[in-house]
Amino acid sequence: MTRFRHILLALAAAFAAAGAGCAPARPEPLDEIPVHLWSTSAPAEEPERLAVEARKPASAPADEWDAPDVRQWRYLVIHHSARESGNAEVFDRMHRARGFDELGYHFVITNGDGGPDGRVEVSRRWRTQKWGSHTGGTPDNEYNNHGIGICLVGNFTARMPTKAQLESLDRLAGYLVRRYGIAPENVIGHRDAPGASTECPGDRLEEYVRGALREKLPIPAD
């Protein structure tokens, strides 16, 4: 092996180790669930009280968040990238370098450093309604198979996301909870998943998710 190749391999290893966010170091076994097992029943009726208007930010085309009814979503799992900058494309490269099939999250909300402040990026993973690869290690891989992964760019251990990021999170979470009938208590920070061993999404964002965000969410229809 040439010296040049050695250097390349070392660089690749360093890049992989630096990886994005809090996803597991290697992919969990993913149990794809046959689409035909899932009901394709009509979406739940609109709840009467909508504390959060599920409007979409100007940066997201009108129908971009909608997806076919092929998977039963039960949780929203909120993450931080732990890095101050980035976007879906950057994290996609990092996750692939770590052996993931592709970007592990379904949505990324950028912060002005790597993408517009408060922009909701919709991943291919969401468009194809693929299981998540963001919250491994739970029994039966429940939180990957049935959890929608939303990553806010930044490190929220000691500070809050930007105002624009929080507004986008409110709208996106409001839309998804209403669309899939997800209970507010199933909107969680990554660290709340059973058996999780992570600081993600940081103390400040965790506090927001468990408090203010849940209080704003619509009551899902039965």
| DSSP one-letter code for 186 | G
Tell me whether residue 79 or residue 95 sits nearer to Zn ion (CB atom).
79
**Is residue 7 classed exposed, middle or buried when 0-12, 13-18 and 19+ CB atoms within 10 A define those classes?**
exposed
- The residue range among 48-56, 90-98, 106-114, 200-208 that interacts with Zn ion, by the rule CB under 5 A, is 200-208
Q: Please report how close the Cβ of residue 211 comes to Zn ion at its closest, in angstroms.
A: 19
Closer to Zn ion at the Cβ: 95 or 190? 190
Report the distance separating Cα 52 and Cα 55, nearest Å: 9
Q: Report CA 164 to chain centroid distance, whole Å.
A: 17
Closest approach of Zn ion to the CB of residue 198, in Å: 6
In this structure, is the dihedral angle defined by the CA atoms of residues 160, 77, 210 and 52, taken in order, positive or negative?
positive
One character per residue 12-51, x = contact with Zn ion (rule: CB under 5 A):
----------x-----------------------------
Nearest alpha carbon to residue 149 among 136, 133, 171, 128? 133
56 vs 123 by CB, closer to Zn ion: 123
Query: Residue 135 corresponds to which amino acid?
Result: T
Least separation in angstroms between CB 176 and Zn ion: 17
Interior CA angle at 90 toward 21 and 101, to 5°? Answer: 75
Q: Is 152 in the site for Zn ion (CB under 5 A)?
A: no
Residues 73-92 that bind Zn ion (CB under 5 A): 79
Task: Kindly state whether residue 200 participates in binding Zn ion, applying the rule CB under 5 A.
Answer: yes
Q: Of these, 190, 196, 206, 208, which contacts Zn ion (CB under 5 A)?
A: 190
In degrees and rounded to multiples of 5, residue 166 shows phi and psi of: -65, -40
Summarize as ranges the residues that interact with Zn ion (CB under 5 A): 22, 79, 190, 200
